[in-house]
């Protein structure tokens, strides 16, 4: 393991050997933001840590969110003050210290239509929202706008009934890249991170009066091989799969996870003329217009879900609902022809009523719950992307609580509030050097700025690949900022094993390009194949695998000209987990 936390897909065998040979303090099941956060939390306390992820890092909910790092203005209305307070503190810590290269401030306009009633109400909420922040404010205060001021910032709004607006600030992130960076930072602290490794059973040993969970049996989804990973404590961070992992242990935890589906559509930036994000109140919740490079992400929905967790798919109704909600305020309505992509994700909500289905999912708390149903096994569910660091702290605290008594080792407290993610350290000194870097490496300044915004100071590692092979400086897909070097880097440092890892999560071409990245799939296979030793036949098979995946998950005909379903594929489906102890 190197100090830059490189996850080199070419060294998978060495990673598997370590998993099988070493005894770990903590084994994390699940490589979404919660699991990656738990791995970093535990590793930075000096513990020996392993993480197994059944598919790819962030392939579950953590690549399908609204991509906001926010306090959640609407939770104030639900009197969830603790959640909002904690989330705002986390937002500010991420923007200012832990991940300034990844988490960036973004403004939102809240149009007002009932001036007399709404302005004092929303204004009071925003005063509270701003007041809950710490004293160091990395994002500006909210502001009041007149109707004219609102239209100046968002000419796309219909002037009908518009009485004014409020402008406030939150932050946004590429959720998949953030998750990967947290996992890499854990690797830099010597955690072993393994993907395409499904926990299919839990190991148990006699202990004291009863039994203790002492690791997991893991299936390598690339080869079908089984291996046992031993650990003093197993931590389950499996999102909407949590109940299934509990079943592996034959335990009933003190909570169940209720799945709520959220759908977003992606439309070109030019389809909505506005220089700020927007948030609208809808009948059931809120609708965001989130600026995303050359696009807007518009969503979301919130409906109970009971299908296949690995492939939540957007329905006709979901798309129609979002378009109708957006068009209530737009002067030029969005149509199906504007929709570049669609994606769906599942919120892992904790149902205190043990899943009796009584409460609508919009009303369920976004707070998290930790449980230790049997010795050696701890699990966490619920929460938000924004609060992952606190979730990680809480679940690791619970997992190591008996280490002092049982193992004679006291474990120090969490230090992740002082651990900037890889790429953050030294950023202030590298950003002004963008022009010089562009000259030194013979690429455009825009390319360097693009890399700095995604890799922070690690951008230099991507540029070094270009120095060795100038063909990698070429754009991957025309009209998109990604470089070929990013594909190579995804293999050598970001554990990309298949095309979907690169096209869906290391880059976001799946949701940003009208063909979901199909036209560059063969080229990606060539770059990856050169590094991973793929034959011509294997390259063709990998390309076909990606094309099949987007076809299967992309109800194009149903959704529109370039729609796509949820990202994600692979072995984990509801039936994939066999009970084995």
CB of 19 within 8 A of CB of 217? no
Contact 174, 488 (CB under 8 A): no
Give the nearer residue to ligand FAD in terms of CB position, either 247 or 464: 247
CB nearer to ligand FAD: give 95 or 145: 95
Q: How far is CA 346 from CA 29, 62, 194, 269, in A?
A: 18, 9, 23, 26
Nearer to ligand FAD among residue 173 and residue 483 (C-beta): 173
- The 8-class DSSP code of residue 142 comes to P
Of 215, 375, 383, 565, which lies in the binding site for ligand FAD, with binding defined by CB under 6 A?
383
Q: Is 258 in the site for ligand FAD (CB under 6 A)?
A: no
Does residue 54 interact with ligand FAD by CB under 6 A?
Answer: yes
Under 8 Å between Cβ of 300 and 289: no
Tell me, residue by residue from 185 to 224, as one string, x for binding to ligand FAD by CB under 6 A and - for no binding: -------------xx-------------------------
Minimum gap (Å) between residue 391 Cβ and ligand FAD? 8
Q: Does 265 sit near ligand FAD (CB under 6 A)? A: no
Any contact of residue 572 with ligand FAD (CB under 6 A)? yes
Q: Which stretch binds ligand FAD (CB under 6 A): 23-31, 73-81, 149-157, 369-377?
A: 23-31
Q: How many residues does the chain have?
A: 581
C-beta of 381: minimal distance to ligand FAD in Å?
7
Q: Is residue 71 within the footprint of ligand FAD (CB under 6 A)?
A: no
C-beta pairs of 446-452 under 8 Å, 24+ apart in sequence: 446/481, 447/473, 447/481, 447/483, 450/481, 450/482, 450/483, 451/483, 451/486, 452/101, 452/427
Site residues for ligand FAD, 300-339, by CB under 6 A, read 300
Among residues 158, 240, 227, the alpha carbon closest in space to that of 199 is found at 227
Q: Does 68 bind ligand FAD (CB under 6 A)?
A: yes
Q: Which residues 6+ apart lie within 8 Å of 149 measured at CB?
A: 164, 165
Residue 203's contacts (CB-CB under 8 Å, 6 or more residues apart) are 213, 214, 215, 216, 217, 228, 230, 581
Instruction: Closer to ligand FAD by CB, 103 or 452: give it.
Output: 103
CA distance 14 to 82: 44
HSE, CB side, 13 Å, CA atoms: give it for residue 250.
Answer: 9
Q: Rule CB under 6 A: choose which of 176, 271, 274, 346 binds ligand FAD.
A: 346
Dihedral of CA 222/228/229/233: which sign? positive
348 lines the binding site for ligand FAD (CB under 6 A): yes
User: Which of positions 467-496 make contact with ligand FAD (CB under 6 A)?
Assistant: none
Residue 486 beta carbon to ligand FAD: minimum distance, rounded to whole angstroms: 22
- CA-based max dimension of the chain: 72
Give backbone dihedrals phi and psi of 500, rounded to 5 degrees, phi first.
-65, -30
CB of 481 to ligand FAD, least distance (A): 23
Of the pair 165, 193, the CB lying nearest ligand FAD is at: 193
> Rounded to the nearest 5 degrees, what angle is found at the Cα of 422, between the Cα atoms of 53 and 221?
15
Residue 499 · residue 516 · CB < 8 Å = no
Among 111, 239, 375, 481, binds ligand FAD (CB under 6 A): 239
Our CB check for ligand FAD shows the closer of 91 and 189 to be: 91
User: In angstroms, rounded to a whole number, what is the distance separating the alpha carbons of residues 471 and 522?
Assistant: 16
Q: State yes or no: residue 361 binds ligand FAD (CB under 6 A).
A: no
- φ, ψ of residue 220 to 5 degrees: the values are -75, 110
Tokens found for residue 543 = 């390309």
CB of 40 to ligand FAD, least distance (A): 13
> Out of 5, 32, 138, 560, which residue is the one contacting ligand FAD (CB under 6 A)?
32
Nearer to ligand FAD, 241 or 510 (CB): 241
Asked if 93 touches ligand FAD (CB under 6 A), the answer is no
Peptide bond into 443 cis (omega under 30): no
CB atoms near residue 241 (< 10 Å): 29
CA atoms of 165 and 327, how far apart (whole Å): 17
* Dist. CA 244–CA 124, nearest whole Å: 43
Does residue 266 bind ligand FAD (CB under 6 A)? no
Q: Closest separation between CB of residue 227 and ligand FAD, Å?
A: 13
Nearer to ligand FAD, 107 or 543 (CB): 107
Q: State CA 99 to chain mean position distance.
A: 14
Q: How far is the CB of 342 from ligand FAD (least distance, A)?
A: 12
H/E stretch holding 167 reads strand 164-172
Residue with smaller CB distance to ligand FAD, 173 or 525: 173
Of the listed pieces 25-33, 274-282, 469-477, 497-505, which binds ligand FAD according to CB under 6 A? 25-33
Task: Give the three-class secondary structure for 205.
Answer: strand
Q: Which is nearer to ligand FAD, 380 or 462 (CB)?
A: 380
In the complex with ligand FAD, which residue's Cβ is closer, 307 or 404? 307
Q: Residue 172 in 3-state DSSP? A: strand
At its nearest, how many Å lie between ligand FAD and the CB of residue 286? 11
Site for ligand FAD (CB under 6 A): how many residues? 41
Residue 448 has φ and ψ, to the nearest 5°, of -65, -45
Alpha-carbon Rg of the chain, whole angstroms?
A: 23
- Asked if 53 interacts with ligand FAD (CB under 6 A), we say yes
Q: Do residues 378 and 395 make contact, with C-beta atoms less than 8 angstroms apart?
A: yes
Residue window 130-159: x/- pattern of binding to ligand FAD, with contact defined by CB under 6 A: ------------------------------
Question: Taking CB under 6 A as the rule, does residue 385 contact ligand FAD?
Answer: yes
- Residue (393 or 484) nearer to ligand FAD, CB: 393
Among 99, 166, 237, 370, which residue interacts with ligand FAD (rule: CB under 6 A)?
237
Query: Contact region for ligand FAD (CB under 6 A) — 92-100, 126-134, 235-243, 275-283?
Result: 235-243
Q: What would the two tokens of residue 303 be? A: 């409906």
Residue range at the interface with ligand FAD (CB under 6 A); choices 117-125, 381-389, 464-472, 505-513: 381-389
Binding site residues, ligand FAD, CB under 6 A: 29-35, 52-55, 59-62, 64-68, 70, 198-199, 237-241, 245, 262, 300, 345-348, 383-386, 572, 577
């Amino acid at each position: 393991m190197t100090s830059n936390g490189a996850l080199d897909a070419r060294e998978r065998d060495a990673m598997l050997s370590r998993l099988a040979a070493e005894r770990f303090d903590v084994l994390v099941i699940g490589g979404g933001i919660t699991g990656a956060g738990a791995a970093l939390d535990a590793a930075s306390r000096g513990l020996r840590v392993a993480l197994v992820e059944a598919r790819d890092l962030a392939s579950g909910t953590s690549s399908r969110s609204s991509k906001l790092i926010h306090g959640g203005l609407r939770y104030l209305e639900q009197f969830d003050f603790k959640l909002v307070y904690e989330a705002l503190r986390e937002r500010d810590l991420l923007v200012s210290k832990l991940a300034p290269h990844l988490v960036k401030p973004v403004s939102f306009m809240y149009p007002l239509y009932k001036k007399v009633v709404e302005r004092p109400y929303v204004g009071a909420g925003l005063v509270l929202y701003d007041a809950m922040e710490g004293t160091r404010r990395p994002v500006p205060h909210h502001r009041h706008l007149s109707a004219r001021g609102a239209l100046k910032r968002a000419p796309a709004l219909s002037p009908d009934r518009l009485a004014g607006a409020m402008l406030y600030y939150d932050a946004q992130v590429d959720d998949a890249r953030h998750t990967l960076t947290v996992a890499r930072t854990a690797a830099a602290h010597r955690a072993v991170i393994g993907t395409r490794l499904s926990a299919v059973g839990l190991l148990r040993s006699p202990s004291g009066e009863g039994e203790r969970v002492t690791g997991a049996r893991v299936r390598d989804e690339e080869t079908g091989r089984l291996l046992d990973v031993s650990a003093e404590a197993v931590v389950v961070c499996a999102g909407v799969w949590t109940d299934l992992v509990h079943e592996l242990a034959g335990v009933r935890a003190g909570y169940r996870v209720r799945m709520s589906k959220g759908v977003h559509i992606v439309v070109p930036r030019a389809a909505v003329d506005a220089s700020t994000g927007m948030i609208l109140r809808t009948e059931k919740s809120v609708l965001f217009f989130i600026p995303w490079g050359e696009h807007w992400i518009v969503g979301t929905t919130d409906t109970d879900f009971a299908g296949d967790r690995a492939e939540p798919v957007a329905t006709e109704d979901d798309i129609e609902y979002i378009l109708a909600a957006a068009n209530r305020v737009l002067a030029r309505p969005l149509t199906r022809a504007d929709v570049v992509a669609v994606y769906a994700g599942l919120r892992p909500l904790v149902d205190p009523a043990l899943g009796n289905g009584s409460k609508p999912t919009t009303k369920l708390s976004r707070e998290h719950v930790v449980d230790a149903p049997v010795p050696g096994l701890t699990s966490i569910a619920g929460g938000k992307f924004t609060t992952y660091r606190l979730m990680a702290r809480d679940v690791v605290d619970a997992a190591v609580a008996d280490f002092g008594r049982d193992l004679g080792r006291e474990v120090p407290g969490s230090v992740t509030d002082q651990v900037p993610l890889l790429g953050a350290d030294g950023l202030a000194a590298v950003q002004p050097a963008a022009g010089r870097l562009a000259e030194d490496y013979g690429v455009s300044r825009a390319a360097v700025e693009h890399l700095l915004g995604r890799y922070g100071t690690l951008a230099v590692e991507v540029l070094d690949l270009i120095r060795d092979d100038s063909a990698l400086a070429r754009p991957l897909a025309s009209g998109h900022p990604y470089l070929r070097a990013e594909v190579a880097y995804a293999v050598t440092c970001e554990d990309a094993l298949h095309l979907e890892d690169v096209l869906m999560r290391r880059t976001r071409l799946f949701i940003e390009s009208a063909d979901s990245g199909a036209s560059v799939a063969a080229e990606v296979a060539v770059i990856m194949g050169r590094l991973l030793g793929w034959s011509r036949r294997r390259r063709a098979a990998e390309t076909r695998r990606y094309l099949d995946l987007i076809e299967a998950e992309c109800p194009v005909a149903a959704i529109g000209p370039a729609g796509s379903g949820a990202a994600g594929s692979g072995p984990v489906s509801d039936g994939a987990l066999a009970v084995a102890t």
